[in-house]
């Protein structure tokens, strides 16, 4: 197993777990209390609580990254494309979040960087094939 694949599994798995946990936390407690977030962050947005963002985070970021992880682990065809697409979804999620609520936590920047690392790793996997 090469370092590109191992790194990809770790990063994509970490992102999947984080997004699934965060999404479910918002779905089950839309007030944001479970993650110590105030709905005040959403004042200038279309949302009154974290339910809709939680659903989007869970489905589009979490489950998409889970699919990419399964592709990576099983070495399925189109792994690099699924991984790259999941990374784009994460990058868009983070950029939209930064526009809506602004910079609040270092995790926003960390996950944006992770999205670009995932894209880079997906390209490296494609080059190795």
Is 25 a member of any domain?
yes
Domain count of the chain?
A: 1
pLDDT in tens, 23-51: 999 999 999 999 999 999 999 899 999 99
Is 112 a member of any domain?
yes
Please report which confidence band the pLDDT of residue 90 belongs to, taking 50, 70 and 90 as the band edges. very high
Is 101 a member of any domain?
yes
Is 129 a member of any domain?
no
**What is d(CA 20, CA 26) in angstroms, rounded to the nearest whole number?**
10
Domain of 120 in residue numbering reads as 3-124
**What is d(CA 10, CA 6) in angstroms, rounded to the nearest whole number?**
6
60, 4, 111, 106: CA torsion to nearest 10? 160
The reported pTM is 0.93
Nearest CA to 23 out of 56, 50, 58 is that of 58
User: What is the average pLDDT across 63-79?
Assistant: 97
């Amino acid at each position: 197993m090469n370092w590109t694949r191992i790194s990809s599994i770790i990063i994509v798995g970490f992102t999947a777990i984080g997004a699934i946990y965060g999404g479910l936390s918002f779905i089950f407690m839309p007030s944001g209390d479970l993650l110590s977030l105030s709905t005040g962050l959403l004042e200038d947005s279309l949302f009154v609580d974290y339910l809709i963002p939680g659903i989007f985070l869970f489905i589009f970021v979490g489950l998409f990254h889970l699919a990419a992880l399964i592709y990576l682990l099983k070495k399925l065809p189109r792994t690099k494309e699924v991984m790259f697409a999941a990374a784009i979804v994460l990058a868009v999620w983070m950029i939209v979040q930064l526009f809506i609520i602004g910079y609040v936590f270092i995790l926003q920047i960390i996950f944006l960087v992770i999205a670009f690392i995932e894209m880079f790793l997906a390209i490296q996997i494609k080059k190795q094939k």
